[in-house]
Structure 1
Amino acid sequence: MKIKSIIAVLLVTAGCLSNATAQQIFRISQYQQHNFLYNPAASGADDNASVGALYRKQWAGIEGGPETFVVYGDTYFEKKKVGVSAFVYNDKTGPTSRTGGQIGLSYSVYLNGKKDQRLMLGLGGSFFQYKIDKNYLTDGDPIAQNDPSIMNAADSKITGDAAVGVYYRSSTLNIGISADQLIQSGLSLYKNTNATQDAQLYRHYFAIASYNWQTDPDNVLIPNAMLKYLPNSPIDFEGGVKLLHKDFLWLGINYHYQQSYSIYAGVKIAKKLEIGYAYDQFSTPLSVFSDGGDANEISLRYYFKK
């Protein structure tokens, strides 16, 4: 185990905590195509049922860098005006990992009697298991092996929480606001006879917006942005623009404020199967590490269209 790698991961993770990304809720670069992962009100917003998977490896050249795997699906029941979504995930950073899932429900209110212009209200319920790999922390380190704050900590904790959101969907403007980890459940990983040190989930707020600008019959420009806020931390912002050609090919660029730049691309085969890829290049301090300051993200999604 490389000590410098561990130190780098811990320092950058601390930096992420101060910038409200927090790593409590996984981050993906292709957020604009996966709104319901952050807002239960967007469940079924694409009308057609779909299933998909996403894998992200961040800071690939640094041991213990964040690694995320998500499997998801959603659908919309038009007669009931109800959308349903579900996803499970595993999110790992260094010695810690989260494995869990969420079920989201949305209800649509049609505006002006039009299905393609509606206000969606959503609720979500989640569960997860938080784990600490003590062997990762103590391997070859006699000081860590005798540290009571490590050895007395529980190996894992299972808990649950909730989310709520509002989402406006139309053929051009799509915008949503949501709050996750509303209950702020406790983790209580460390307890002994002399003291109790409790960790907890923190409430996260998201705002995601995009606009479809039809520049000509074949091309659509889609400016998009995401704001994330965690109380007592600065607002975190990322945004960019995506070019969609004939509902078949897309290219996009994004900027994550003071953290990274992203480029992404994908294809939609037979208007059913989406294959996407995103590459992130992180700024300092990660950029000083050889092959350390980047991330790779691959996504697959299948739509059940007639």
Structure 2
Amino acid sequence: MLKRTLFFTGVILCMGIFAYAQQKPQYTQYIFNNYLLNPAVAGIENYTDVKLGYRSQWTGLQGAPTTAYFTVNAPLGSDFTRGDAASFPSGGDSPYSRLYTSEYRAAEPHHGIGFSLITDKAGPIDQTNIMATYAYHLGITEKLNLAVGVSAGANHLHLNTSELTFENPDDPVLRNLENNKWKPDAAIGIWAYSSNYFFGISAQQILPQNQYISTNNGQNLSKTVPHYFATAGYKFYLSDDVSFLPSALIKFIQPAPTTFDINAKLSFRDRFWFGGSYRKDDSFGILAGFNLNSLINVSYSYDATTSALRTVSNGSHEIVIGLMLNNIYKLTSPQHGW
């Protein structure tokens, strides 16, 4: 009985990380890839947007979370991809200029598709998420676009028992371990955007699934929970070529308390930017990035931990590399995104 109790204690401690905190990865640079949180963003630009990201959280802490992802999304519809009124040929108006704002018009109705692959590891727990996305974008006023999107796929959650120490590796409890299965996953979202503001709401992990292990009476010790996000931002023009973009992300994940991120981004035309971030009761961060050319952009962030983990953590690092494929207008920065 003692052996079984020790096993349950270890498993519950591991699952407690997820039961009372965010089960999905968190991102400091959500503003650079809103598609990670909201499927309605798929196809927002008139090129194929590819992102590769890596996050090392709480470095210096053994078993700290690490996240890697690959996302790609693209529009469908020639009226948009080859005739978007808000896209200018190379050498035209920068999306960071006031002139761009005055001439902005809502995008032509079009479809968007996307794909994401995300891997996340925290201690003995690792998960892999694969999703495909469909979105539809529609101009509802002369300058306001509305998009709705849905993602569907599968999630694989795994508890690596080889990283845990058991008094009896052949404990019968291990036979009930549901520990290497793919389970369905889904997300939905709405995204409204114009030339200088955006707001959106989304829900991820909307198909709750049992995790790991069940007791003899059929009860499960842990379940996935839906994640709800609300995002908004507004771009202020400090001059013709310099803009300031504050944004906020609010996260609702029961039974954890509601939390939020606040970011601020100062951009210089379409070449480089820097900024800062704050995550409630967790960290302060600095961000910087540049658009190398019409193909490649890079961004980096560092979070200084402010929670109790600051005594053992050296902070968090996140880097994102973006590719703008099929970029027929040779844009060096997003036109409809941020």
Q: Counterparts of 1:222 and 1:150 in 2: how far apart (Å)? A: 51
Q: CA deviation at 1:108?
A: 1.4
Distance apart, 1:216 and its partner CA: 0.8
Q: Which runs of 5+ in 2 are unaligned?
A: 1-11, 80-108, 329-338
Q: 1:233 to 1:284 in 2, by over 3 A?
A: closer
Distance in 2 of aligned mates of 1:272 and 1:13? 41
Q: Deviations over 1:85-118 (max 9, x none)?
A: 111011000001101211121111212355xx21
Q: Partner residue of 1:41?
A: 40
Match of 2:197 in 1: 173
Counterparts of 1:133-172 in structure 2 under 5 Å?
133-138=160-165, 142-143=166-167, 145=169, 149=173, 152-172=176-196
User: Aligned ranges for residues 14-33 of structure 1 at < 5 Å?
Assistant: 14=16, 18=20, 20=21, 22=22, 24-33=23-32
Matches for 1:129-278 after TM superposition, within 5 Å? 129-138=156-165, 142-143=166-167, 145=169, 149=173, 152-187=176-211, 189-191=212-214, 196-278=219-301
Residues 49-92 of structure 1 deviation map (CA, whole Å, 9 limit, x = unaligned): 11120001111101110010101111112446111111101100
Distance in 2, matches of 1:261 and 1:15, equals 22
Contact 2:210 2:220 in 1 (8 A): no
* Selected match of 1:280 from 287, 290, 303: 303
* DSSP 3-state at the match of 1:72: strand
Contact 1:282-1:293 at 8 Å conserved across structures: yes
Residue by residue over 1:167-221, the C-alpha shift from the partner in whole angstroms, topping out at 9 and shown as x without a partner, is: 001111111101111121233x224656543532211100111111121122110
Quick check: 1:137–1:144 contact (8 Å CA) kept in 2?
no
From the superposition, tell whether residues 264 and 17 of structure 1 become closer, same or farther in structure 2 (CA, over 3 Å). Answer: farther
User: In 2, Cα distance between the equivalents of 1:88 and 1:57?
Assistant: 17
Which structure 1 residue ranges, 5 or more long, are not aligned? 1-9
Distance 2:195 2:37 in 1: 21
Q: TM-score, normalised by structure 1?
A: 0.86
1:296 aligns with 2:317: yes
| Residues 147 and 250 of structure 1: CA distance in aligned 2, closer, same or farther (over 3 Å) | farther
Residue in 2 that maps onto 1:97: 126
Q: CA deviation at 1:37?
A: 0.9
Q: CA deviation at 1:154?
A: 3.4
Cα 1:155–1:275 change in 2 (3 A) is same
Shift of 1:165: 0.9
Percent identity over paired residues: 27
2:85 corresponds in structure 1 to: none
Contact 2:19 2:223 in 1 (8 A): no
Question: AA paired with 1:96?
Answer: I
Does the Cα contact within 8 Å between 1:134 and 1:150 map onto a contact in 2? no
CA offset digits 1:216-253 (Å, max 9, x no partner): 12211010110000133311111021011111111010
Query: How has the CA–CA distance of structure 1 residues 211 and 286 changed in structure 2, closer, same or farther, with 3 Å as cutoff?
Result: same
Distance (Å, rounded) in 2 between the aligned partners of 1:194 and 1:231? 25
Tell me what 2:155 maps to: 128
The answer to whether the 8 A contact 2:285-2:304 is kept is: yes
Aligned to 1:112: 141
SS of 1:127's partner is strand
Confirm or deny: 8 A CA contact 1:273 1:301 kept in the other structure: yes
Render the CA deviation track for 1:140-178: whole Å, top value 9, x for unaligned.
Answer: xx5374765557423312101211111001111111101
Contact conserved, 2:283 with 2:307, CA < 8 A, in 1?
no
Say if 1:113 and 1:231 are closer, same or farther in 2 by CA, change over 3 A: same
1:5 corresponds to: none
TM-score of the pair, normalised by structure 2: 0.78
Q: Tell me, in whole angstroms, the C-alpha distance in 2 between the residues paired with 1:196 and 1:203.
A: 19
Residue 86 in structure 1 maps to residue 115 in structure 2 = yes
Contact 1:54/1:69 (8 A) holds in 2: yes
